[in-house]
Every structure is written in structure tokens, then in C-alpha cells.
Amino acid sequence: MGKSILMVDDDKDFIYSLKAFFEARGYEVRTAHNGADGKKEVDKALPDIITLDVMMDTDADGFNLAFDLKNNEATRNIPIIILSGFTDHLKDKANSFEFIMGNDWPATEYIKKPASLVTISAAVDRLLAQVNAE
């Protein structure tokens, strides 16, 4: 089996299309639809990379998970791609994101939704190649 990806997003149609795409390319893909379930999946088996939405059960659900993972010795080196349109909501939901100000960014990369499969795939491949080179 190939590299493993954990995809955490509450948009089930989006996740299922990404899952099919990456499985066809030889990746093992697990999914979760909120931060709590994402954490459970990480606890079951460490993925090689994570794609993570921000706004799920709460406005900052994805950030909470990302910070938890980056503050944990066992998971801090897993690359995280924030795959979200949260920046479209910064003006009207600024209070939800205040806690990230002044903190180190918990993700390796940010891709704004909507994003093409080519863009997402290129980021996954590039980040996994960097991890393998280290």
C-alpha cells in the first residue's frame, strides 16, 4: 500500500471525490468529518500527511486539531495542508480566529477552496517528497 492520507472535512461530497482520486493513485485514504473524529483517526494510526478544513463543527475546529497535532511530540512532524475557504469569513468571524494571532502557523501549507485536484495533488506529492528527503 502507498502513503497514507487523512482527509478531515465536513463536506462529504468533496472528501469522497478526493478520496477516489488519491486511492486511484495508490494512496491509502482515511476520512473524518470533524476535528474530534480526525483526532481519533490519528490516534488509530499516524498518517503520512493530513488535509484539513478549518470550519467544521465550530468555526475553528480544524485549527484546534492542527494546534493539538503540532503540540504533540508524536504528531508534530506530520505535514498538514489546510484546505479551506475560511479566509472568506475573516471579516464576519474575526473573533473565531483571534486565538491564532501571534501563534506559529500550525499547518505546513494553505490551499484556498475551491482548489483543483491538480493543485491539491501537487502539494501532497511535494510535501511527502520533502518528508522523505529529510
Per domain, the residue ranges of the chain are 4-133
Q: Which CATH number fits domain 4-133: 3.30.70.580, 2.102.10.10, 3.10.20.600, 3.40.50.2300?
A: 3.40.50.2300
Which conformational region is residue 102 in: left (phi greater than 0), alpha (psi within -120 to 50 degrees), or beta? left
111 contacts 123 by C-beta, under 8 angstroms: yes
pLDDT of residue 86: 62
Output the pLDDT for position 5.
Answer: 97
Summary mean pLDDT of the chain? 85
User: Residue for cell digits 468529518?
Assistant: 33
Q: What's the confidence (pLDDT) of residue 101?
A: 44
First-last CA distance in the chain = 21
Poorest-pLDDT segment among 3-17, 22-36, 52-66, 94-108: 94-108
Average confidence (pLDDT) over 49-60: 80
The mean pLDDT of 18-44, rounded to a whole number, is: 96
Taking only the tens place, the pLDDT of each residue in 72-105 is 999 999 999 988 876 655 555 545 445 454 456 6
Q: What pLDDT score does 73 carry?
A: 96
- What's the whole-model pTM score? 0.84
Of 7, 26, 86, nearest in space to 17 by CA: 7
Q: Note the pLDDT of residue 58.
A: 66
- Distance CA(7)–CA(18), nearest Å, equals 8
